[in-house]
Structure 1
Amino acid sequence: MKIALLGTGFGQAHAAVYAQRGDVEVVMFGRDPDKTAAVAGKFGFAACTDTDRAFDDGSFDLVDVCLPVPQHADHVLRALDAGKHALVELPLAGDIADARRVAEAARRSDRQVFVDMFERFIPANRALFDAVDGGGYGRLEQLSLWNRTAHLWPGASLGLRTLPLEAMHSDMDIIVRTLGRPDSIDVTAVARDDDSASIEAVMGFDGAIARDSVSSLMPMPWGARGGYTATFEGGVLESVATMGFDGRPSGSVTAHTAEGARELELPAADQYTAMIDHVLACLRGEADNEIAPESVLDALQLTIDVDRLVNGVG
Structure 2
Amino acid sequence: MKIALLGTNFAQAHAAVYAQRGDVEVVMFGRDADKTVKTADRFGFASSTNTDEAFDGDYDLVDICLPVELHAPYVLRALEAGKHALVELPLADSVDDARRVAEAAEAGDRQVFVDMFERFIPANRTLLDAVRDGTYGRLEQLTLWNLTAHLWPGFSLGLEVLPIEAMHSDMDLITSALGKPNALDITTVARDEHSAAIDATLTFDGAFARDSVSSLMPKAWGARGGYTASFTHGVLDASSTMGFDGKPTGTVTAYTEDGARELDLPPADQYTDMLDHVLACLRGESENTIAPHTVLDALQLTLDIHHRVNG
* RMSD of equivalent CA atoms: 1.6
Structure 1 equivalent of residue 287 of structure 2: 288
**Are 1:235 and 2:234 counterparts?**
yes
1:63 deviates by: 0.5
Q: Is the 1:13–1:247 Cα contact (8 Å) retained in structure 2?
A: no
> What residue number does 2:257 align with?
258
CA distance in 2, matches of 1:151, 1:27: 31
The answer to whether the 8 Å contact 2:221/2:243 transfers is: no
Shift of 1:190: 1.3
Give the 3-state SS of the residue equivalent to 1:253 in structure 2: strand
Aligned-pair distance for 1:250?
2.8
TM superposition shift of 1:153: 2.9
Partners of 1:249 and 1:306 in 2: CA distance: 29
The verdict on how the C-alpha distance between 1:298 and 1:182 changes in structure 2, with shifts beyond 3 A counting, is same
User: What secondary structure sits across from 1:27 in the alignment?
Assistant: strand
Distance in 1 (CA, whole Å) between partners of 2:7 and 2:214 is: 25
Moved more, 298-307 or 83-92: 298-307
| Residue 127 of structure 2: aligned partner | 128
Q: 1:263-307, CA deviations, whole angstroms, 9 ceiling, x for partnerless residues?
A: 111111111100000000000000000000001001111111111
Partner of 1:182: 181
Distance 1:151 1:48 in 2: 32
Letter in 2 for 1:84: K
Q: 1:76 to 1:154 in 2, by over 3 A?
A: farther
Q: How far apart, CA to CA, are the structure 2 residues paired with 1:13 and 1:223?
A: 19
Supply the AA of the counterpart residue of 1:36.
T
Q: Secondary structure at the match of 1:285?
A: coil
Distance in 1 separating the partners of 2:162 and 2:269: 23
CA positional deviation for 1:248 = 8.1
Query: Match of 1:261, as an amino acid?
Result: A
Secondary structure at the counterpart of residue 53 of structure 2: helix
- TM-score for both structures, normalised by structure 1: 0.96
What is the rounded CA distance, in whole Å, between the counterparts of 2:122 and 2:128 in structure 1? 10
Aligned partner of 2:274 in structure 1 is 275
**Structure 1 residues 117, 249: CA separation in 2 closer, same or farther (over 3 Å shift)?**
farther
Instruction: Provide the residue aligned with 2:12 in structure 1.
Output: 12
- In structure 2, the gaps of 5 or more residues are none
**Structure 1 spans left out of the alignment, 5+ residues:** none
Judged with a 3 Å threshold, the aligned counterparts in structure 2 of structure 1 residues 271 and 47 are, in CA distance, closer, same or farther, namely: same
Distance 1:242-1:6 versus aligned 2 partners, 3 A rule: same
Q: CA deviation at 1:149?
A: 1.5
**Alpha-carbon deviation of 1:247?**
10
Residue 224 of structure 1: how far off its partner (Å): 1.4
How far apart are residue 217 of structure 1 and its match?
A: 1.8
State the Cα distance separating 1:236 from its structure 2 match. Answer: 0.5
Question: Which range moves more in the overlay, 220-229 or 130-139?
Answer: 220-229
Amino acid at match of 1:15: A
User: How has the CA–CA distance of structure 1 residues 132 and 108 changed in structure 2, closer, same or farther, with 3 Å as cutoff?
Assistant: same
Q: What one-letter code is carried by the residue in structure 1 that aligns with 2:49? A: T
Cα pair distance change 1:123/1:145, threshold 3 Å: same
Instruction: Give the number of aligned pairs.
Output: 311
Contact 1:249 1:270 in 2 (8 A): no
Contact 1:239-1:252 within 8 A present in 2 as well: yes
1:99-178 equivalent positions in 2, closer than 5 A? 99-178=98-177
**What's the counterpart of residue 29 of structure 2?**
29
Q: 1:249 to 1:126 in 2, by over 3 A?
A: farther
CA distance in 2, matches of 1:245, 1:95: 34
Identify if the C-alpha distance between structure 1 residues 246 and 31 changes in structure 2 by more than 3 Å, giving closer, same or farther: farther
SS at match of 2:66: coil
Deviation at 1:218, TM superposition (A): 2.0
Deviations 1:55-83 (A, max 9, x none): 111x2110101111111000100100111
